[in-house]
Amino acid sequence: MKADTLRDKFLDFFKNKDHRIFDSDSLVPKNDPTVLFTPAGMNQFKEEFLSPKPSVKRAASCQRCLRTDDLDKVGKTAYHHTFFEMLGNFSFGDYFKKEAISFAWEFLTCVLKIKEDKLWVSVYIEDEESFNIWKDIIKVPVLRIVKLDDRTNFWPAQAKEKGPDGPCGPCSEIFFDWGKDFGCKRPECNPSCSCGRFVEVWNLVFTQFNRKSPGILEPLPKKNIDTGMGLERLASIIQGVKTNFETDLFSPIVKEIISNLDVDKDRFKENIYAVSDHIRAVTFAIYDGVLPSNEERGYVVRKIIRKGIMHLKKMKINKPFLYRLVPVVAKVMQKPYPELLSLQESISKIILEEEKNYLSILEESQNIFKKEFKDFLEGKNDPRESAKVAFKLYDTYGIPLELSKDFALQHGFEISSKVFEELLLSQRRLSQKETMFENKVFAETSSFINLKETKFLGYTEFQTKAKVLKIEKNNDLFQIVLDKTVFYPESGGQIGDTGTIERKESIFEVLDTQKKDKVIIHIGKFKTNQMFKEKDLVLAKIDQKRRLSIARNHTATHLLQSALRNILGTHIKQEGSYVSDEYLRFDFFYPEKLNYQEVMRVEEEVNNYILKNDRVVKRTMSLEEAKRIKALAFFEEKYEKKVRVVSIGDYSKELCGGTHLDYTGQIGIFKITSFSSVAQNIKRIEAKTGEPAYRTVREYSDLIQDICLLLKSKPSDLIVQLEKRINRIKELEKLLDNLQFEYLNSSVEEMLNKAEEIKGIKFIYRFVSYASPQVLRRIVDLIKAKEIKVIVLLATILDDNLYMVLGLSQTLNKMGLEANVLIKELASCFGGSGGGRADFAQGNSPVIENPQLLYQKLKEIILKYEDNLSHK
């Protein structure tokens, strides 16, 4: 029986048991800062577990999950994974132990036809109720019921004594027995043994207590059921194979890896299995919007990719390969996740880029290690200090701790993982602190929690009469909640509406609109001395002109995404957007370079859409229907069952709750004002529409006209005239360089004769006005060729900076002086930087009033190397 069939049978079974079937939630949990990724099926139901009035009583799902707790075990055991699917059924104050146990037994023995004598169960040692249900109702022989302690059969583990406080309860697990000839072969072997004979199939959690303090458990008034069964393990049992990696969920991936090996596959089985697991994890993480990076979830994805690369290198695959496995994963998982097929190219490109970058780092890493870990290679062994170096390499080059630890192991010193993690945590805390918005008008405002949902009328209305439900002062501003509103709250990248709320002579100016849960909050100040009070009837009016400008930019953003996909390829992926009344910003994943010609083609495509004057259709539909018509969405977003889809012609369909125009022609004109790279593989386009776009085009036109007047040229001849002048400037610069070189060359002997000599070394310094870098470098080389022991420093003003070159004869290099070291220290004294080779270096700094200070400071620096200067 294939895994797809098992998945369907499970969901159908519980659907027939009056459970509402939920689609898998994203791997990125919403409103749950306690976990980076969704680790279990119950995570999307946390609100139902905690709510006194859950919206559903019975639920079932097949949830995609990602855990890295056992990352190093993956491939080494039959059942450990980073990515897996969790089958689960849940009850929120409805049925309890008897039904949960009966459902599980019926599904395994009646639906899947697993022989009863192959199944064992465990119960919590103090849970006599569950023990008796298994024994008396299900009729499982006592010999196959094992009582275990709260380390394995209580959730959370050991919660009674160690916490945390909150809902908890005993567990009952169902195990499959591979038989007495498997594992340790001891006659007394049972599910408490870890030999592998018994495989945990299903865990039933009975949430019945509230843990208040060590040893104190109070009965919950509403008892819940939370169960979890790994699809991969179940497939292994039903398909009769001893490891998950032999099931149809993995075998096509494993086969593809093996077909590309030139080594003994049996010798590298663990590596093959690990790679087949890791590619599933990173494929689905990227599918859910998590890109490889050095932060939080992105770092986990990057770490898994790099783990996969290291496994491949052990199998003599030293080039990008993981990306080639994405289509295999997409094909295996196409039934439950059909969208994966359309995204496979994009996901492959992301992984390919990451593989290229990491393989490049690996090529350079040995040289970096030898330099940075120099002290430790010479005998120093301080795990704390080496951890600081390892963190520097991670922070500077993106070299992971694992690679540094491998190098350390090979060369006989240690790196403290604990210190590294402390440094990483400290950096993240600092980053979070630096990016906090201290004056966000409302934080977690508890007074708004119990208010009913605000009715939003702003899609079709610009003003409405409403009732004041809540008014509260926060710092110098007020926050007002109405029972209904036309003000769109900041959401999905679109800024909040502004306008007024009025009652007779009292006027409240709305400066921003925000949303907390389902409550819309109007933020602003009173323009009059008279204020509102709760239950007052008021008139809420938005700034219509501003709203129309925002709508132009928002609709244009959808057109821009369509144009980008047409011009650059469907693998581009939106990473964020900002929509205001003045401009729009669109960030997207695109690993290739973005050139001006491509950007102009995109701009032209958007303006063609505008000229078509297509209707902008907004429809509310089920999430399932939106997926069926292939509406674009942020896959990491959590959507309601009903969603709003904005469609334009046959080229744009997106899930979007923002405000839009009725026709594309209302945009008027679309003008891209800038394009850039804002992060690795992330590009940004900024653009304007309507009046702001017209003003920008007019400014460009005026600028061209001014240039034409200066050059006494027509616009059509402007390029020719500019080229002529640029060529003439180049000729003059070349002539000036030649004159400067001749002048300086004729002064070389004079410079040598007048050079200050310290400990047998000649010091030459000259500030030269209007000299090019090339001329200064040639003069330095000439002087070095004429003198055995000489230090030459030449400087000039270049592009409003002080530019300097420093040359040392090779004799001084042998004495331990290095130009690149000296120039760095010299430039830093004046707020600049520098670098280069041991015999020649260059640097720059802000312009200083007295350039002679450069020479004085250089002498001070070099005199610190007195021992070297005295060397014969």
> Which string of DSSP letters, residue by residue, matches 690-739?
HHHHHHHHHHHHHHHHHHHHHHT--GGGHHHHHHHHHHHHHHHHHHHHHH
Length, in residues, of the chain:
872
Dihedral (CA of 735, 736, 737, 741) sign: positive
Q: Residue 313: how many CA atoms within 13 Å on its side-chain side?
A: 12
For 490-501, the pLDDT digits (tens) are 998 999 999 999
Residue pair 17/58 in contact (Cβ under 8 Å)? The answer is yes
Q: Where in the chain is the domain with CATH 3.30.930.10?
A: 3-242
The secondary structure element, H or E, covering residue 433 is helix 417-434
Residue pair 839/790 in contact (Cβ under 8 Å)? The answer is no
Q: Where in the chain is the domain with CATH 3.30.980.10?
A: 548-698
- Class of the CATH-defined domain 548-698: alpha beta
Question: pLDDT confidence of 262, banded at 50, 70, 90?
Answer: confident
How far is it, in rounded angstroms, from Cα 545 to Cα 542?
A: 9
Residue pair 325/281 in contact (Cβ under 8 Å)? The answer is no
Name the percent of the chain in helix, strand, coil, to the closest 5.
40, 25, 30
β-pairing, 463-474 with 537-542? antiparallel
**DSSP symbol at 82:** S
Distances (CA, A) of 606 to 245, 487, 665, 677, 686: 48, 28, 11, 21, 13
pLDDT of residue 868 exceeding 50: yes
Burial class (CB in 10 A: 0-12, 13-18, 19+), 691: middle
Distances (CA, A) of 240 to 2, 8, 233, 796: 11, 19, 11, 79
- Indicate the range of 24-33, 94-103, 483-492 predicted with least confidence: 24-33
Q: What is the DSSP string of 113-136?
A: ---GGGEEEEEETT-HHHHHIIII
- Indicate the range of 92-96, 215-219, 283-287, 634-638 predicted with least confidence: 634-638
pLDDT of residue 123 exceeding 90: yes
How far is it, in rounded angstroms, from Cα 149 to Cα 130?
A: 14
For 630-640, the pLDDT digits (tens) are 888 765 556 67
- Class of the CATH-defined domain 743-869: alpha beta
Q: What is the pLDDT of residue 31?
A: 63
- Class of the CATH-defined domain 446-542: mainly beta
Q: Where in the chain is the domain with CATH 3.10.310.40?
A: 743-869
What the block records as the tokens of 405 is 């630890």
- Class of the CATH-defined domain 3-242: alpha beta
How far is it, in rounded angstroms, from Cα 149 to Cα 243?
A: 28
As a whole number, the mean pLDDT across the chain is 89
Percentage above 70 pLDDT, the chain: 96
Per-residue buried b or exposed e for 153-166, using 16+ beta carbons within 10 Å of the residue's own CB:
bbbbeebbeeeeee
Q: What is the pLDDT of residue 449?
A: 63
∠ CA 631-637-643, rounded to 5°: 50
Residue pair 359/351 in contact (Cβ under 8 Å)? The answer is no
- Indicate the range of 237-241, 333-337, 377-381 predicted with least confidence: 377-381
- Indicate the range of 181-185, 275-279, 329-333, 607-611 predicted with least confidence: 181-185
For 424-461, the pLDDT digits (tens) are 877 756 544 433 333 333 334 446 767 889 999 999 99
Q: Residue 442: how many CA atoms within 13 Å on its side-chain side?
A: 26
- What is the mean predicted confidence (pLDDT) over 317-335? 95
Dihedral (CA of 151, 157, 163, 169) sign: negative
pTM for the full predicted model: 0.66
Percentage above 90 pLDDT, the chain: 56
Q: What is the pLDDT of residue 429?
A: 60
Q: Residue 827: how many CA atoms within 13 Å on its side-chain side?
A: 25
How far is it, in rounded angstroms, from Cα 155 to Cα 357?
A: 42
* CA 865 to the chain's CA centroid: 48
Q: What is the pLDDT of residue 296?
A: 80
